[in-house]
Amino acid sequence: MTVQVRSGGRTTRIAASLLATLLVLPLAGCGDEGDDGGPVTLDFAWWGNDARAEVTERAIDLFEKKYPDVKVNTSFGAFDAYFQKLSTQIAGGDAPDVVQMDRAYLREYAERNALLDLTRSIEDGILKVTDISPSLLPAGKVGDATFAVPMGQNTQGVIYDPAIWQQAGVSAPTLSWTWDDMLAAGARVSQATGGKVAGFGDFGYAIDWFDVWLNQRGKSIYTADGKLGFGAAELTEFWTLTGRLRDGRALAPAALTTQLDGSIQNSSLIKKGVSAEVNYDSSYTALVGAYGKPLRIGPVPSDTDKRGMLAQKSMSLSVARASKHPKEAAQLVDFLVNDVEAGKVMGVSRGLPANGKVRDAIAPILPANDKVVYDYEQSVAALLLPTPPAQPKGGGAVKAEFQRVYDEVIFGRLPVDKAAEQLVNEAQGQLG
């Protein structure tokens, strides 16, 4: 697993072999300066890629100029690697002061007492939320406490290579295209490329994309009270759909799908094994950079009258409960979320800014690729569902288990119905 670490304004690459561990208490303090009134050092960690890292580092430089007595060390990695390392750090009492948080893990970390309730910082005016989209704020709450502040909003879409599609005679996706249309488009791409390129990355591996499919049917992966919102029948139907697309040569082969880990480098699209993939639009700019050719975004297919996509909190920022510098950590969160100049630097690297004033400020100056993301979200805004609440404790484990069981399906080791039953049973166990 690869983790990026920045110290003293420089970024270096190190390799780290880490095992996921259980979160344990108590937590030790973070940071190693400032107790005597001197300079403060904060540790800030997030998941992402080199493109996101570049703009984040530039935003951190702006923060350090505004707060010259605060220095920020940063680290980042791919999604899976990031949470494995974060779990290890928390268990060892060495959590970063500020962490990027995903909705699948927020409740679990909050209920394990690993995150600081930011309500006091908000009430004291250190951390301002008045300009953040009201629909996003509840997703950072667990009960009455605020444990995360949204950085951005994103939604789901299909990111595709328009040149390959044009050569294959495939039309751009529209708000009326269906899963059968996806099958036909993918098969045509495969045929036109002599089987060298499949139509789409296999979206059956991620519970996020299953959630979109469920939303199209008026359901979701979790109910409002934190229970599992689907049964084996729904999952069997979904994985039967992906199997039908895979059999029709519309999806990537299993050998590519099993490598998916949320990183750009292991994307089936970046590996040039497919012409398109279901992804979050916040990944678009980084994907274009890694792909080396123009890409476009279209909506996810649907065979109901609902599109199922969410206007969701793409990522949020939390403060470790045991941070020795909670005030400065809250100041860093506030700056990254609310500062217009920081927003201009970071663009849509984490989705459209959650802060409405920042979003309006960056719109006229967005680079071409970021403008594609902005325009895409504007085009589907009226169809998007609101951000769901924080997932129940165990949501992160269910997310990982979903992919593991799907590997058993695509390699033919488990029939779809048995795999669906196994996943539902294990998910119910994880949710307690």
| Confidence at residue 226, expressed as pLDDT on a 0 to 100 scale | 87
> What percent of the chain has pLDDT above 90?
77
What values do phi and psi take at 7, rounded to 5? Answer: -145, 130
Q: What is the pLDDT of residue 37?
A: 60
25 has a pLDDT exceeding 60: no
Q: Please spell the DSSP secondary structure of 113-173, one letter per residue.
A: T-B--THHHHHTTSS--TTB-TTTGGGGEETTEE--EEEEEE-EEEEE-HHHHHHHTPPPP
Given a cut of 50, whether residue 105 has pLDDT beyond it is: yes
For residues 336 and 358, what is the distance between their CA atoms, to the nearest angstrom?
Answer: 10
Residue 61 tokens, joined: 């430089």
Query: For residue 313, what pLDDT is reported?
Result: 85
Phi then psi dihedrals of residue 219, to 5 deg? -125, 180
For the stretch 223-267, pLDDT in tens is: 988 899 999 999 999 999 999 999 999 999 999 999 998 889 999
Q: Could you tell me if 175 and 380 are in contact, meaning their C-beta atoms sit under 8 angstroms apart?
A: yes
Average pLDDT rounded to a whole number, residues 361-381: 93
Q: Is the pLDDT of residue 4 over 50?
A: no
In percent, how much of the chain has pLDDT > 70?
91
**Res. 120 pLDDT band, cuts 50 70 90:** very high
Pairing of strands 141-142, 145-146: antiparallel
Mean pLDDT, rounded, of the chain: 90
Q: How far is CA 94 from CA 207, 342, 393, in A?
A: 30, 27, 22
The 10s digit of each residue's pLDDT in 262-321 is 889 999 999 999 999 999 998 999 999 999 999 999 999 999 999 999 988 889 999 999
Question: pLDDT at position 13, please?
Answer: 27
What average pLDDT does range 178-201 have in this prediction?
A: 97
Task: Indicate the pLDDT class of residue 178, thresholds 50, 70 and 90.
Answer: very high
Q: Tell me if residue 275 falls in helix, strand or coil.
A: strand
Q: How far is CA 396 from CA 255, 299, 402, in A?
A: 24, 26, 10
pLDDT at 103: 86
3 touches 75 (CB < 8 A): yes
Dump pLDDT digits (tens) for 43-77: 999 999 888 999 999 999 999 999 999 999 999 99
Mean pLDDT over 168-175 rounds to 96
